[in-house]
Amino acid sequence: MAVLTESIHVERVAKSRLSSVDFNNLGFGNHISDHMLVIDYKNGEWQEPKIVPYGMMELSPAMLALHYGQSVFEGMKAFKNEQGVITIFRPERHHKRLLRSLERMCMPAISEELFLQSLSALIEVDADWIPTSEGASLYLRPFVFANEAKLGVKVAEEYKFIILTSPVGPYFAKPVRVKVEEEFVRAAEGGTGFAKCAGNYGGAFYPTMLAQKQGFDQVLWTDAKDHKYIDESGAMNVMFVINGKLVTPRLTTSLLDGVTRDSILTLAQSLGIEKEERKVSVAEIEEAFKNKTITEAFGVGTAAVVSQIASINIHGTDYHLPAVTEASFQLRVKKKLNDIRKGIEADVHGWNYRVK
């Protein structure tokens, strides 16, 4: 289905809410831009997209997504670079991950063309919502859910694809304290851990809430079988610098294939650091603290970007990371990533998708 952004029907708001937003104090996800893009799936195909004012929708309380969890989403960011050009960071890679999520949840695929042009069209309409301050961006939230109304347990035949946008600041405003989770499980091999489906996040709330009551910001999830190996953190993939090498858990069906993770691994060589994707045991991390061979730990993700981890609690003991300096890999790679996104540094990997 070929879709030109000019052909997408647009119903504009009568009055923009832009003036009510304090762009110096955005937070994350607190504000939704004026418009949203909506596409219905019925009769075996995606219908024509339309852009309408953001607002409430009429949905059946019997819709299948509410009862059986057929709901997936993506998260990416748009920027306005130094030349005033609007770009989306790696949307093709996000689209590939969305397809894997949709397939795992028995939901209909969305073509790359429809995906990219829908994103572009919505951003064109709400371009004034893109913040330009340091660390800020326009967060993009495409999501798909089953809206067929039926109480029988079945794969839905009707869906909605919606895109929302939100001007955001940094996800974590300060270094985070994390706790290695040894009781609860986020995902198991063969499950849906690699998919960005809604249930993965809902199931993680309770153990995260318990950890936060103990003074931690996030948990470090471990493998479902023995709790011996690190998987990822609650809102991000995790990376370590051990013995001067960048180390991160290898991908499995229980880990999310992070786009920021992949970007940082790609940039590692140009920053002069050796990388290792492999199993990372809790015992190895604890021993590295004791031997002082671990110098950095940080989370990476679209929302988190690169977020410093200040301490890791293992078996009830807090282990503190050394202070981050300008020479730290996490700051150098964060700057390089930001410079590529903002057009300060050449985009040799072709990651920035240009919006007209």
5-51: per-residue pLDDT in tens? 668 999 999 999 999 999 999 999 999 999 999 999 999 999 999 99
Q: Which residues pair with 313 in a beta bridge?
A: 179, 318
The domain defined by 5-170 folds into D-amino Acid Aminotransferase; Chain A, domain 1 (3.30.470)
Tokens 């809430």 correspond to what residue?
209
The number of residues in the chain equals 356
Specify whether the CB–CB gap between 261 and 203 falls below 8 A. no
pLDDT computed for residue 159 by the predictor:
98
> Crossing angle for the helix pair 112-125 and 91-104, nearest 10 degrees?
120
Amino acid 304: pLDDT: 85
Three-state secondary structure call for residue 269: helix
Residue 149 is given by DSSP the state B
Tell me the percentage of the chain whose pLDDT exceeds 70: 98
Return the SS3 of 267: helix
pLDDT of residue 283: 98
- The pTM of the full predicted model, rounded to 2 decimals, is 0.95
Q: In the chain, at which residue ranges do the beta strands (DSSP E only) sit?
A: 9-10, 35-42, 45-46, 50-53, 71-73, 76-80, 86-89, 137-146, 159-168, 176-180, 218-222, 230-233, 237-242, 245-249, 275-278, 294-301, 305-314, 317-320, 352-354
State residue 311's pLDDT score.
98
Per-residue model confidence as pLDDT tens digits over 226-238 = 999 999 998 899 9
pLDDT on residue 170 = 86
Cβ–Cβ under 8 Å, residues 342 and 82 = yes
pLDDT mean over 153-175: 94
Please state the domain extents for the chain: 5-170, 176-341
CATH class of the domain whose range is 176-341: alpha beta
